[in-house]
Amino acid sequence: MSEEIQVSVRGEGNVTVIDLVGDVTTFAEEAINQAYQSASADGAKNIVFNFRENDYINSAGIAILIGVVTEARKRDQKLLMTGLSAHFQKIFRMVGLTQYADLHPTVTDALASVNGEATT
Amino acid sequence: MAPQSNRVVELRIPSELGYEKIAREAVATVAHRLNFTKEKVEDIKTAISEACTNAIRYGSGSDARMKVVVILTADEDKLDILIKDPGASGTPPINIDIPDIDGMVEGKRRLGGMGLYIIRELVDEAGFVEASDEDEGNQFRMVIYRVEDNKKESSPEAKASGSENGGLA
């Protein structure tokens, strides 16, 4: 029943982007962790989780992301999240995830933030 | 079709993760017909997803032979959602704590346990209710009022009780 998530890793300037397409639920754990480990193995210091707006994210999916936060802090990596709908931005703030990962509308905005550029 | 009072939609979904999406789509249709705002519809979809996920994972041990029953009652002033599960995990939690994300990040707390908190924040009333004699298992009820003022007039203590004992119990 759950839409299988498609996770891919790409470089974008000096950040590593992990694109997430599909449901972010308990079924996404292996794919997300593999992508994160792959990015880390390549030395990523700034990692953007790029969500597709309107995909389904539940608390189990949020727990997976908190697990990534835990690993990223150990590795002194910066986490950013983009593409979230206003609703899921609210949920992420509600549970406190935004203390550990900056939210930006787009990957371009996240990239500008990492590079200290102002966005319009 | 204009919304009419006391319309009831009842779903029986297999107790298997993923099937909560059926309840999610069904409640979205009902909520749209009740003219909830787009953002409130999203709140309701997330709340029912979390409640059904709990019913599947904990209330029936993800045993697909079991069923989770979702009853959506569309009233003139509110949407009432009742979720029944077989109660496989025994007594449901009474307290709904704010997630300790710092503890999770530091590895002091297990990951998860956020569903009930998210639900409580998104709906007007939420909590486990006592099942009738003929029903066994857990029943979790959520209420979302169509007009903010209605909630305040009809249930001023709802949020407060929800924060202490899960509400509605």
For residue B149, tell me if it sits in a domain. yes
Residue ranges per structural domain of chain A: 6-107
Classify residue B1: in a domain, yes or no: no
Better-scored residue on pLDDT, B48 or B160 = B48
Within its chain, how far is the Cα of A110 from the centroid?
A: 11
**Pairwise CA distance, residues A90 & B6, whole Å:** 31
In a domain, B36, yes or no: yes
Structure tokens at B85: 């599960």
CATH of domain A6-107: 3.30.750.24
Nearest to B144 by CA among B20, B51, B18: B51
% of chain A exceeding 70 in pLDDT: 95
With a cut of 70, list the residues of chain A below it in pLDDT.
Answer: 1-3, 118-120
Take residue B38 and report the two structure tokens written for it. Answer: 């787009």
pLDDT, tens digit (0-9, with 9 covering 90-100), for B28-56:
999 999 999 999 999 999 999 999 999 99
Domain span at B41: 7-165
Number of domains in chain B: 1
Does residue B2 sit within a domain? no
- CATH value at residue B155: 3.30.565.10
CA distance to A52, B7, B61, B166, per residue, from B97 (Å) = 30, 34, 23, 10
Instruction: Answer yes or no: is B105 within a domain.
Output: yes
Is the pLDDT confidence value at B68 over 90? Answer: yes
Residue A105 is inside which H or E element, if any? none
Q: pLDDT grade, residue B158 (50/70/90)? A: very low
Chain B interface residues (partner A, CB cutoff 8 A) = 16-19, 21-22, 24, 39, 42-43, 46, 49-50, 53, 99, 101-102, 104-107, 111-112, 114-115, 117-118, 121
- B102, part of any domain: yes
Residues B116-139: what's their mean pLDDT?
A: 89
Q: What is the ipTM of this complex?
A: 0.91
Q: What's the pLDDT tens digit per position in B85-98? A: 998 877 787 778 88
d(CA A116, CA A13): 13
